[in-house]
């Protein structure tokens, strides 16, 4: 068995291990039934591994550049951190990645160019995001940072308290750099069709619990939050052939288009361009007297580095 398959199997068996307690809790049907339930989940995880595979590889397209230069003026600095979704794995062109679509949408709304910088890494867990931020020059000051992470925490059985703690630290570090932050919470794992039932339902429950914890942590730290399972999850469930890439796991070009469109209101709200957000978007909970990060107008600071 290849190392790639071994790794993928370990990930899906991680979901099984994380939910094995459910079987143990079914005391009324006895230990034998519980053991049979776990065995079923392991078989389903192995099947999902074989179906998904890694046809997209492990490197996303590099889409970093200044978008819509023709608008003129100092570019808005957009930073994207997180996992394979944040990196845009599954997009077939630079312009089809999540970061590029957010950059173009933001540029159009503001009539200003946007410089995209992507530090997201395919396969990243929340614990790896601080290293992504540390890889950037100390002088780099993003106007807005988008963070999407959580799916790998679910499949790798990372305790929710550890994931949310690190997410909070990342938000604090970004705000110290003067950035507004937009967090896209853990997507709906239950939308992944290669996961059979009951594994799919169990994965969905774990992902939802993590997303809830991410939302609470992010809002308390002054970040804007987009509940991805609410704003785009239904599209992935009802239109899987269009929304998923060939691995049936990562978003397709259409999936990224929908996700970027859904996230854009919170990005614009973070930049002070809109004051009302639609369903599934959540405004930060910092009190009015809390210190606010530098406004977008400060983007003309001559000391700003690309």
Active-site residue list: 84, 247, 250
SS3 state of residue 195: coil
Rounded distance, CA 170 to CA 183, Å?
Answer: 11
Q: Identify the helix (H) or strand (E) that includes residue 76.
A: strand 76-82
Beta strands in 109-256 (DSSP E): 114-118, 144-148, 180-184, 224-226
Rounded distance, CA 243 to CA 89, Å?
Answer: 13
SS3 state of residue 98: helix
Asked if residues 84 and 122 have their Cβ atoms less than 8 Å apart, the reply is: yes
Instruction: List the structure tokens of 303.
Output: 């000391």
At a CB cut-off of 8 Å and minimum separation 6, what does 300 contact? 74
**Closest by Cα among 256, 235, 252 to 244:** 252
Asked if residues 296 and 143 have their Cβ atoms less than 8 Å apart, the reply is: yes
**Closest by Cα among 262, 290, 288, 289 to 277:** 262
SS3 state of residue 10: helix
């Amino acid at each position: 068995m290849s190392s790639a398959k071994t790794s993928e199997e370990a990930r899906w068996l991680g979901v099984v291990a994380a939910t094995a307690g459910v079987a143990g809790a079914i005391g009324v049907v006895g230990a034998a039934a519980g053991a049979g339930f776990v065995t079923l989940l392991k078989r389903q995880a192995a099947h999902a591994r074989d179906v998904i595979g890694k046809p997209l590889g492990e490197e996303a397209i590099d889409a970093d550049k200044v978008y819509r230069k023709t608008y003129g003026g100092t570019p808005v600095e957009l930073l994207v951190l997180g996992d394979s979704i944040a990196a845009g794995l599954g997009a077939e062109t630079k312009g089809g990645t999540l970061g590029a679509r957010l950059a173009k949408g933001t540029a159009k709304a503001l009539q200003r160019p946007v410089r995209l910088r992507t530090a997201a890494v395919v396969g990243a867990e929340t614990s790896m995001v601080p290293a992504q931020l540390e890889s950037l020059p100390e002088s780099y000051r993003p106007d807005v940072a988008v963070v999407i992470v959580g799916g790998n925490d679910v499949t790798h059985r990372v305790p929710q308290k550890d994931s949310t703690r690190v997410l909070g630290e990342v938000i604090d570090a970004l705000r110290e750099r003067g950035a507004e932050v937009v967090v896209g919470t853990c997507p709906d794992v239950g939308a992944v069709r290669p996961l059979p039932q009951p594994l799919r339902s169990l994965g969905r429950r774990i992902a939802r619990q993590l997303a809830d914890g991410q939302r609470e942590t992010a809002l308390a730290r002054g970040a804007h939050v987009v509940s991805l399972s609410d704003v785009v999850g239904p599209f992935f469930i009802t239109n899987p052939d269009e929304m998923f890439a060939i691995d049936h796991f990562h978003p397709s070009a259409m999936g990224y288009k929908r996700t970027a469109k859904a996230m854009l209101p919170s990005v614009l709200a973070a930049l002070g361009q809109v004051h009302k957000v639609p369903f599934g978007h959540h405004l930060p909970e910092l009190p009015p007297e809390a210190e606010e990060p530098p406004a977008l107008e400060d983007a003309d600071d001559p000391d700003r580095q690309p």
